[in-house]
Amino acid sequence: DNFCCYARPGEVLLAWTDDQDDPNYLRCQAALRVLEESRDAKGRKLVVHKMPIPGPLYATQEECDGVDIVEGSQPRDPSIRLAGSYVNFLIVNGGIIAPSFDDPKDAEARAILQRVFPEHEVVMVPGREILLGGGNIHCITQQQPAPRKA
């Protein structure tokens, strides 16, 4: 939910960078190749919407010291890049709740979400505090879809 997600049947959003110096560059390229060669359950080629990756984002020492590390969690260190992603959003009734990072790419991410989900209102909420603990909007909500009526 932090790198790729379905927008609707046959369409995906993929976290993306064009920066060849970004450690995620090769990962993005490989994922795009796989997705472009893939088909959905009905045999349709997937439409891939590229979503920019914010940052790079890093925690300050003060932020790292403020994270309550519990058993099994990863320690926080200012030298480790935070896994910021606009793909980690939540679809709700008539809306999209997506993280913002006070990053220049926030506006572009919002515009892409609005284009991909024109019937939804896109609301960006500050995601840095969630990110410091690990994950973001989609991760912390652990939503359960309603069953379809027969």
Kindly name the residue from 4, 28, 64, 139 that is annotated as catalytic. 139
Instruction: Spell out the SS3 assignment of 34-46.
Output: HHHCCECCCCCEC
Beta carbons of 16 and 28 less than 8 angstroms apart:
yes
d(CA 45, CA 94): 27
User: Is 139 part of the annotated catalytic residue set?
Assistant: yes
Short-list 101, 96, 109, CA closest to 130 = 101
Phi, psi (degrees; rounded to nearest 5) at 109: -60, -45
Short-list 15, 10, 11, 8, CA closest to 98 = 15
Q: Which residues are catalytic?
A: 139
